[in-house]
Amino acid sequence: MATKIQEPISIPMTVSVPYRFAAGSYLTKCLIGLRDHGTLFAVECPKCKRVQLPPRIVCATCHVRNERWVELGLEGTLVAFTIMYLPLTDPTTGKPHNPPFVYGTVRLDGATSVLDHFINVEPDLEKIRVGMRCRMILRPQAERIGDLSDILYFDPIPG
């Protein structure tokens, strides 16, 4: 009797794991400011003077404690961007972002760090450029929950 060659067996499986992360003392202070007052606070290193966002307890370069809090403005400069055409899953919600959409890396005025976020602009290369000025737009206060999603996106500043 002829034996049929079998396909190797492979078994599908889904693992879903819940987590709950502590923001810690420094980030909590920053997120409460964002939620309750619409402010954004970073910390400045006493030694190298780098203004670090998200605020963190120790400067990675100097290994000293960051103690001075600095309020940042909500405007900054786009240092890099992309137009995303893939339906990327938002790992924090499990839902896809709707492509195409623009996101980029913004350096807020006065900060040495950068922040990645959505840029509220059409996915058109004529309308986006590195060096473009932009302003952070927050959710209305009643809807803010104290995480990074309180920032909706950056709006380009005309000019």
Closest CA to 124 of 100, 140, 107: 100
**Site for another protein contains 90 (CB under 8 A):** yes
User: Which residue among 46, 67, 71, 79 contacts another protein (CB under 8 A)?
Assistant: 79
Residue 138 binds to another protein (criterion: CB under 8 A) = no
Report the C-alpha gap between 110 and 42 in whole angstroms: 9
Residue 58 found at the interface with Zn ion (CB under 5 A): no
Residue 81: contacted member of another protein, Zn ion, none (CB under 5 to 8 Å, by partner type): another protein
Strand ranges (DSSP E) for 1-159? Answer: 40-44, 51-52, 68-72, 75-84, 101-108, 115-118, 133-138, 151-156
The one of Zn ion, another protein, none whose footprint includes residue 47, by CB under 5 to 8 A per kind, is Zn ion
Q: Is 68 in the site for Zn ion (CB under 5 A)?
A: no
Q: For Cα atoms 14, 18, 24, give the angle at the middle one, nearest 5 degrees.
A: 145
Binding stretches for Zn ion (CB under 5 A): 45, 47-48, 59, 61-62
